[in-house]
Amino acid sequence: MVDHRLSEEHEALRESVQTFARKEVAPVIGDYYEREEFPYPLVQTMGRMGLFGLPVPEEHGGMGGDYFALCLALEELARVDSSVAITLEAGVSLGVMPIYRFGDDEQRRTWLPRLAAGEILGAFGLTEPGGGSDAGSTRTTAVLDGDEWVINGSKAFITNSGTDLTGLVTVTAVTGQKPNGGKEISTIIVPAGTPGFTVAKKYSKVGWNASDTHALSFDDCRVPAANLLGERGRGYAQFLATLTEGRVAIAAVGVGLAQGCVDECLRYLGEREAFGRKIGEYQAMQFKVADMELRAHTARLAYYDAASRMLRGEPYKKQAAIAKLASSNAAMDNARDATQIFGGYGFMNETPVGRFYRDAKILEIGEGTSEVQRMLIARELGLPA
């Protein structure tokens, strides 16, 4: 029997995050967004709520929940604001999970309790200035010198990498050459404040303006050899697994934005009048918002399916790509339609739909572009690489 109803625990979590988003995030996030300022009080509240530790076992300081719980929280946050949602998404899927999945006992003891509590944030240094989607073209290097790694190179577009809460960045780097001549890529933990590790000034972005994004550089940056995360030479496989898992989470963010557009339009359609009638009485508006609800609902089912397969231990690479593609399409289409429904007001940054419109585009790019998702789906269907 197929049943998409939430368990009592999941529903209670969803409701608590929804209340937080509507009562604490919604009234203040517009000001943070306009000032392009990181919302420290909101992030600290999310830490106290345990949201950064949702999928982490209690023995490591987490809430002992599952990855689907994280997705539900992300959807509710993104219904109100994507900057706050992406801070949590990146903090967990790209910051916490690599340490939890691939770290040794000492690394887990050192980092997971503080990460899970939201006391510090973790970042994932993958993308490079000339790499983009071609993550295998990594140029950052790490050379073993005695009992230290010496790291040189740069990273671009790294979320949560320059806040006052940032505690570490997990960096992919070339650590040697494989027997077949290819690059041996490994993953290394670099604590914030390490000499030789420089955080550039924050980017001026189109959207996600209340989230933190920086370029990073490493100039003879030395960290202990024990900071190697997982097995040497397995960094490429590790980040592929991290991104597959993260695509389910980013899909939840896209669904939240798409549903938030519906929420705002339903409110506006009941208030705004044109030609002597509420605009919600016009069939053209009704059909448009019906299509928006269709997109959000369909994308939600896609990420529910991917998450359920993940939790059952089944292959889910194709389903994660489908969920990510469907949700980013839904977010973009719904943001465009919501802006059209709001008219001139939708073009103003002071309205949520104005922010939604600016925030939606990056969902077609970050954590794997839409083109990459289509490529992955095609390969999973058996078509040639």
* CATH code at position 131: 2.40.110.10
Q: How far apart are CA 175 and CA 8, in angstroms?
A: 47
Residue scoring higher pLDDT (111 or 270): 111
- What angle (nearest 5°) sits at the alpha carbon of residue 127, between those of residues 77 and 360? 35
Within-domain flag for 202: yes
CATH number at 369 reads: 1.20.140.10
Asked if residue 217 belongs to a domain, the reply is yes
pLDDT digits (tens, 9 = 90+) for 223-268: 999 999 999 999 989 988 999 999 999 999 999 999 999 999 999 9
- Residues 262 and 311 placed together within one structural domain of the fold: yes
Please count the other Cβ atoms lying within 10 Å of the Cβ belonging to residue 266: 15
Positions of E strands within 262-349: 273-274, 277-278
Residues 223 and 189 sit within 8 Å (Cβ to Cβ)? yes
Catalytic residue among 15, 293, 367, 371: 367
Same domain assignment for residues 90 and 145: no
Domain that holds residue 52: 8-121
Closest by CA to 325, choosing from 289, 378, 265, is 378
Final residue in a domain of this structure, among 202, 233, 264: 233
Q: Is the pTM of this model over 0.75?
A: yes
Q: Mean pLDDT lowest for which of 131-135, 182-186, 259-263, 316-320? A: 131-135
Among this protein's residues, is 367 annotated catalytic?
yes
153: helix, strand or coil: strand
Structurally, the chain folds into a number of domains equal to: 3
Both 262 and 372 in one domain: the answer is yes
Output the pLDDT for position 119.
97
pLDDT at 204 over 90: yes
**Whether 362 and 266 share a structural domain:** yes
- Hey, how many other C-beta atoms are within 10 angstroms of the C-beta on 16? 15
Q: How far is the CA of 34 from the CAs of 196, 204, 311, in angstroms?
A: 33, 12, 38
Pairwise CA distance, residues 152 & 221, whole Å: 7
Looking at residue 56, the DSSP 8-state letter turns out to be S
Q: Nearest 10 degrees: CA dihedral of 225, 231, 235, 237? A: -170
The C-alpha atoms of residue 339 and residue 351 are separated, in whole angstroms, by 10
More confident residue, 367 or 186: 186
Domain assignment present for 1: no
- What is the pLDDT at residue 135? 62
Q: What is the rounded average pLDDT of the residues 168-185?
A: 93
Residue 134 DSSP SS3: coil
Q: What does each C-alpha distance from 309 to 22, 30, 189, 241, 322 come to in angstroms?
A: 31, 36, 30, 14, 13
CATH number of residue 13's parent domain: 1.10.540.10
Q: Strands 121-125 and 148-159: what pairing? A: unpaired
**Domain match, 66 and 117 both:** yes
Q: Say if 198 falls within a structural domain.
A: yes
Strands 166-177 and 183-191: antiparallel
Residues 6+ apart with CB under 8 A from 103: 111, 112, 229, 230
User: Is the pLDDT assigned to residue 384 strictly greater than 80?
Assistant: yes
Residue 40 pLDDT exceeds 80 = yes
**What is the per-residue pLDDT across 344-353, written as a single tens digit (0 to 9) for each?**
889 888 889 9
